[in-house]
């Protein structure tokens, strides 16, 4: 039998890279896992059979070495400043290595006029990869991950509160996908370029759910009543700043506030849910309850103890006392690329068309 092609998985310690690599290994593919440090995640991947590569995704030298002998790759730019640099290094190295197929993690919101610099960079990365006609590309446009709700697992578990700035608790909906399903879709596309090359996929969870339903489900899983509390953007920014983990950087704050604005505007509900997970993997997408049960079981802050409750109350006090981050000052200091007349997705005709009933198309097909 011919040997299976070697697949490079970038951001292999991340939310989607880890399940992508594990799903490929399970199917017997040789995987090179690109991480930036040797830690428990690297150990887990090694035990599952991956070849571990430690390096910096900004470094052309490292990316060239990481691609030696690989013919396919999962491209996942970390959620970090200079996303365009990640994309350009990956594209240049992929061109040199003559990769045959790439699966690229993009965004549901991806469009070139977006107020978010990260999102415009993601769109430019999509365009760059598509322009490289020598390899096939599958673009995976994911919306608001289920994982994001677990930012507030501690107050949900300890205080019965789900404080997020998502707007009206009955109206603002999302069909949240699990990290595992995103990884399974990426792995499915990597294993079969013939079927999935040239496609744009938008994997979602199985149903649209409101913030009140998210709170109710979490409550059921945690065995207590949990109430969704719509909070202001200011409070959200203070919380991101004040409470670790993961201690969001200044740059992330400036972008996350734009993503919650898209949530409130209903962008993640447009033409959702999709049947992508079922179509690519052959099994249904995981429900939010399934995802929440797995997450609650593995997170220490979900266990109700006196110590955890005291910590949750102390974190609330920290948030109240924290200074409000000055977004405009951060943008000036970090020299963000701001564009005039930026458009949220609902205001952008190109995005509306690509998210219409005809489904997503390659950017070059729309041109
Ligand atoms: N979260 C969402 O709701 C959402 C929605 C739509 C799209 N996305 C897209 O998802 C992508 C991120 O995917 P993800 O959540 O799977 O990734 P992630 O969890 O942010 O993982 C990124 C990984 O890359 C590593 N890393 C960071 N800088 C590096 C560098 N210079 N060199 C090598 N490794 C580096 C990080 O290492 P450490 O862990 O060691 O720091 C981390 O393990 C972004 O491009 C974003 O646009 C996210």
Residue 248's pLDDT band (cuts 50, 70, 90): confident
Number of helices and strands in the chain (H, E): 17, 9
Identify which of 78, 89, 90 to mutate to test ligand 1's pocket (most ligand atoms within 8 A of the CB): 78
pLDDT at 361 over 70: no
What pLDDT shows up at residue 241? 86
In this predicted model, what pLDDT tens digit does every residue of 10-53 receive, in sequence order?
A: 999 999 999 999 999 999 999 999 999 999 999 999 999 999 99
Tokens of 105: 């993690």
pLDDT at 307 over 50: yes
Identify which of 13, 14, 87 to mutate to test ligand 1's pocket (most ligand atoms within 8 A of the CB): 14
Please state which of the ranges 221-225, 278-282, 352-356 shows the lowest mean pLDDT: 352-356
Span 331-338, mean pLDDT? Answer: 92
Span 106-113, mean pLDDT? Answer: 97
Query: Among candidates 93, 43, 47, 102, which has minimal Cα distance to 74?
Result: 102
pLDDT at 360 over 80: no
Span 68-87, mean pLDDT? Answer: 93
User: What is the spatial distance between Cα 114 and Cα 96, in angstroms, rounded to a whole number?
Assistant: 31
Tokens of 80: 């970090």
pLDDT at 253 over 70: yes
Residue 356's pLDDT band (cuts 50, 70, 90): confident
What pLDDT shows up at residue 366? 42
In degrees and rounded to multiples of 5, residue 3 shows phi and psi of -70, 145
Span 174-194, mean pLDDT? Answer: 98
Span 92-121, mean pLDDT? Answer: 97
- Ramachandran category for residue 233: left, alpha or beta (phi over 0 → left; psi -120 to 50 → alpha): alpha
pLDDT at 367 over 50: no
Which residues line ligand 1 at a C-beta cut-off of 6 Å?
11, 13-17, 36-37, 56-58, 76-80, 105, 107, 122, 142, 144-145, 148
Query: Among candidates 185, 190, 214, 163, which has minimal Cα distance to 283?
Result: 185
Nearest CA to ligand 1 atom 26: 78
Tokens of 95: 């061109």
What pLDDT shows up at residue 279? 96
Query: Among candidates 290, 262, 285, which has minimal Cα distance to 111?
Result: 262
Q: How far is the CA of 79 from the centre of ligand 1 (A)?
A: 4
Instruction: Compute the half-sphere exposure of residue 306: CA atoms within 13 Å on the CB side of its CA.
Output: 0
In this predicted model, what pLDDT tens digit does every residue of 234-243 receive, in sequence order?
A: 999 999 888 8
Tokens of 164: 């997020």
In this predicted model, what pLDDT tens digit does every residue of 316-325 receive, in sequence order?
A: 999 999 999 9
What pLDDT shows up at residue 82? 86
């Amino acid at each position: 039998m011919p040997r299976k092609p070697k697949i490079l998985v970038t951001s292999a310690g991340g939310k989607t890279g880890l399940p992508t690599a594990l799903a490929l290994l399970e199917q017997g593919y040789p995987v090179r896992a690109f991480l930036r440090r040797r830690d428990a995640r690297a150990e887990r991947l090694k035990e599952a059979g991956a070849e571990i590569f430690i390096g910096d995704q900004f470094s052309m030298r490292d990316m060239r070495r990481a691609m030696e002998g690989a013919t396919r790759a999962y491209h996942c730019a970390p959620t970090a400043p200079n996303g365009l640099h990640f994309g350009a290094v990956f594209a240049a190295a992929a061109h040199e290595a003559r990769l045959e197929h790439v699966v690229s993690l993009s965004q549901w919101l991806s469009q070139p006029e977006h107020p978010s610099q990260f999102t415009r960079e993601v769109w430019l990365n999509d365009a760059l990869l598509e322009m490289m006609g020598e390899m096939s590309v599958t673009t995976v446009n994911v919306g608001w991950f289920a994982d994001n709700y677990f930012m507030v697992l501690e107050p949900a578990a300890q205080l019965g509160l789900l404080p997020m700035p998502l707007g009206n608790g009955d109206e603002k909906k999302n069909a949240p996908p699990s990290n595992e399903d995103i990884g399974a879709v990426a792995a499915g596309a990597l294993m079969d370029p013939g079927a999935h090359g040239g496609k744009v996929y938008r994997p979602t969870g199985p149903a649209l759910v409101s913030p009140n339903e998210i709170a109710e489900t979490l409550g059921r899983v945690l065995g207590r009543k949990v109430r969704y509390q719509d909070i202001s953007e200011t409070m959200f920014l203070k919380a991101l700043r004040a409470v670790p983990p993961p201690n969001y950087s200044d740059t992330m704050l400036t972008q996350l506030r734009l993503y919650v604005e898209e949530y409130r505007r209903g962008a993640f509900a447009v033409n959702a849910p999709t049947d992508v997970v079922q179509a690519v993997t052959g099994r249904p997408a995981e429900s939010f309850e399934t995802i929440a049960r797995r997450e609650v079981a593995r997170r220490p802050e979900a266990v109700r103890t006196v110590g955890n409750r005291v910590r949750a109350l102390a974190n609330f006090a920290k948030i109240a006392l924290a200074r409000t981050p000055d977004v405009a000052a951060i943008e000036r200091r970090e020299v963000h690329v701001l564009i005039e007349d930026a458009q949220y997705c609902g205001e952008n005709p190109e995005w509306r068309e690509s998210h219409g009933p005809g489904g997503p198309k390659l950017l070059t097909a729309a041109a």
